[in-house]
Structure 1
Amino acid sequence: MSTKRRRSRGNPAKPLKQSGPGRPSSTSPGSTSRSTSRSTSRPARPPATGGAISGFGFGSLGGVEIPPPSGVLYPQLLRREGEPRRLAIGRALIGIAVALSLYFLLVSVVSQGVVMLSWTITSPTLSYADYSKAALAFRLPAGMLGTNLGIACLIPITFAAMMVVHQVRPRWLGSIRPRIRWSYLFVSLGIAAVSLAAVFALSTLAGPAAQLKPQPNFWVFMIIILLTSPLQAAGEEYLFRGYLLQAFGSMVKNPWFGVLVSSVVFAAFHGLQNPPLFLDRLAFGILAAILVMKTGGLEAGIGAHVINNVYAFGLAGLTSSIAQSRALTSIGWLDALFDVGGFALFAVLAYLAARLLKLRNRTV
């Protein structure tokens, strides 16, 4: 079984209609005095204008929430009815810059903090520089733990961007419900576990056989993988298929703009890679983003991302080394074909499952 073909998708180098601004009141000329008195007995809803930073409408954590428009797809949740395009683009670019800056900062701080704590407890007599280099290359379990926890910080980072920059509750990142639809998430995990395992088996038959030879500290790595890979995968999905998809989607009317641009950013963030590996990751990003748009939430992408990373790192630890999988920068075209085929199969099955569950993909 060759682990060269397997690589992780992580560790890169989703209300009722409300009356409001731009929406007509539900009161008609023929309304009775009773309905009129009922409507006037409540205080008027304040205009959702937010703060006053250069007209971009920034607010605070306790500011007025601006609800998404009705009848829109997931990539369009941050669009504001009647807003000038330049303001929409300006707000989105500032939010993206803030989110990515915090990403680079927190991943480094958290990962280094975990590694330093591990070094202090387990190997204080060794050089910290050498220990840190080995750990962050995933030759030591502390490096994987720190990196995964650092990437998991993308979840609160995207929450903060939604609240502060856009004045939208972060629950709209989960799905258009707006929340994570847990039943569909667990269904997606099951579909990914079966479909990706089948493709892994087929790719094994097409390549040279590999011997089972667990690496040192394999079980420690596996515990970390099982406990933190879901957080790491969810963090990446919340950023790339969640916030970035919505932020880029708020710039133009066509939702496909957000799908394509966020996918290119996702692939590029994985660092140095040859063309087949870049296209492999780009295809995963596009398929995951299409699933978000077609199903109305992040659940399918999270499910596929979690299972892929568990399989990739688990198989690497059994046959070569997790550090080797971490350092992967090139693959062949046949390997990329198997990968893309596996994710395409998962995408079709996950979409059919969403149809069977009668999940909507537009706001009400």
Structure 2
Amino acid sequence: MDRFATERTPSGARYDEILSGADDQPKLPSLVGIMTAVLLFLLVAPAVSQLMAALGWLLLSPGGEYADWLRAVARFDIPWGMLSAHLALITLIPISLAIVLLVHRRHPEWLASVRPWFRWRYLLISMAVAFVVFNLMLFARQLGQPFPVLQPQADYWVFLAVTVLTSPLQAAAEEFFFRGYLLQAFQTLLPRPWFGVICSAVLFALFHGTQNLPLFLDRFAFGVLAGILVVRTGGLEAAIGAHAVNNLMAFGYAGLYSTIAQVKATQVIGWADLAWDLGGFGVFALLALLIGRRLRLAVTTPPAGGGSSGTWPRRP
């Protein structure tokens, strides 16, 4: 187990500074870690998705051509498609934790927060606040317009079960990867408060594939606000809460009024859509910051000699 012993986490460090050490610390581990993380994302997630698609073909025996099955899975025409894609993205959690441990020699629990691992109360409160804020914005946006006709799609309840069971983990995985590992790693390359936030937000938006400018800016802005929350609150909880609720609402409501495949295929939004989304994200971010202060959340790692030592394995 000694080969997994980790370096001590810096005391009094912000979340984005956790992977930092001395000022003259070589940048090579971070460059290697970032490239490895991106490469593993591009290799592992598609491989898991394809394996899940093949497993579904064998288990469900849908008939027809295998190529048609693959297209249906990729489009989210069937619940197995959503399950496959979400399980593929969930692999970002072990990828992020492994790189922190093996490349940076830091205990993976510090990827969640500065007090290490999750502050569950704040996470649950963040999800509740996001649910209220995002639904109020959705209601306000609908005022003066005809209310959409309720027409649940085929297999809606199966889709809903998959959404509830996997979307929170999928959202957490993206936060671990982008606002967690990549934000911390970029910050070691240029120790400025904005650098890790901006770089991780750009990659987050780019990795969502084909999109018009407003949709790119929508995702970039969410990444920036989530990154600011992570740094200012000392952990991933608020970002995960907002991301999970956003995905649950997007897929849950889509299946009631149109189809989940239509949401999955979205590549274009308008400037008004961007403005509404920014309003909702902005209100949530402000409330999450205020609640974090009210709860007196720690925003830096424990001082030297206090709290967790930051080494692993733990010594008796």
TM-score by length of 1: 0.80
- The question of 1:150 aligning with 2:88 is answered yes
**1:184 CA displacement:** 0.7
Evaluate the alpha carbon distance shift between residue 148 and residue 93 of structure 1 in structure 2; reply closer, same or farther with a 3 A threshold.
same
Partner Cα separation in structure 1 for residue 3 and residue 158 of structure 2 = 42
Letter aligned with residue 109 of structure 1: A
Match of 2:214 among 265, 276, 286: 276
Contact map agreement 1:76 1:255 (CA 8 A) in 2: no
- Counterpart-to-counterpart distance in 2, 1:61 and 1:221: 45
Q: Equivalent residue for 1:235?
A: 173
Q: How far apart in 2 are the matches of 1:122 and 1:150? A: 19
Task: Give the residue type in structure 2 aligned to 1:78.
Answer: L
Q: Flag the structure with larger Rg.
A: 1
Identity level (%): 47
Cα distance in 1 between the residues matched to 2:146 and 2:29: 51
Higher-helix-fraction structure = 2
Secondary structure of the residue that 1:250 maps to in structure 2?
A: helix
Q: Tell me which residue corresponds to 1:194.
A: 132
Say which of 144, 165, 168 aligns to 2:103. Answer: 165
Give the equivalent residue in structure 1 for 2:274: 336
Distance of 2:127 and 2:147 partners within structure 1: 28
Alignment match, 1:74:
15
Q: In structure 2, do the counterparts of structure 1 residues 127 and 189 end up closer, same or farther at CA, with 3 Å as the change threshold?
A: same
Give the Cα separation in 1 of the matches to 2:2 and 2:214: 43
Report the counterpart of residue 60 of structure 2 in structure 1.
122
Deviations 1:173-200 (A, max 9, x none): 0000011111111111111111111111
Cα separation, partners in 2 of 1:183 and 1:68, compared to 1, 3 Å:
same
SS at match of 1:273: coil
Task: Give the Cα–Cα distance (whole angstroms) in 2 for the partners of residues 154 and 262 of structure 1.
Answer: 14
CA 1:273–1:124 in structure 2 vs 1: closer, same or farther (change >3 Å)?
closer
Distance of 2:298 and 2:63 partners within structure 1: 58
- Distance in 2 between residues matched to 1:295 and 1:270, nearest whole Å: 26
Determine whether 1:318 maps to 2:256.
yes
SS of residue paired to 1:281:
helix
**When the two structures are superposed, what TM-score results if normalisation uses the length of structure 2?**
0.92
Given the alignment, which residue of 38, 61, 69 partners 1:131? 69
Q: Which residue of 1 aligns with 2:246?
A: 308
Distance 1:185 1:61, change over 3 A: farther
Going from structure 1 to structure 2, the CA distance change for 1:208 and 1:331 (only over 3 Å counts) comes to farther
Matched, 1:287 2:225: yes
Question: What displacement does 1:68 show?
Answer: 2.5
C-alpha change, 1:207 and 1:72, in structure 2 (3 Å) is farther
What's the Cα RMSD here? 1.4
Q: Which residue of 2 is the match for residue 12 of structure 1?
A: none
Contact residue 61 and residue 164 of structure 1 kept, 8 A = no
Per the alignment, residue 141 of structure 1 pairs with: 79
Query: 1:103-122 alignment to 2 at 5 Å?
Result: 103-122=41-60
Q: Which aligned segments of 4 or more residues in structure 1 are displaced greater than 4 angstroms?
A: none
Residues 192-224 of structure 1, C-alpha deviation per residue, up to 9 Å, x if partnerless? 111111111111226553211111111110000
SS at match of 1:253: coil
Q: Per-residue CA shift, 1:308-328, capped at 9, x if unaligned?
A: 001011111111111110010
Indicate how the Cα distance of structure 1 residues 224 and 61 shifts in structure 2: closer, same or farther if over 3 A, else same.
Answer: farther
Does structure 2 conserve the Cα–Cα contact (< 8 Å) formed by 1:274 and 1:329?
yes
Amino acid at match of 2:12: G
Which deviates more, 339-348 or 95-104? Answer: 95-104
Which piece of structure 1 moves more, 200-209 or 335-344?
A: 200-209
In 2, distance between residues paired with 1:192 and 1:142? 28
Which deviates further from its counterpart, 162-171 or 75-84? 75-84
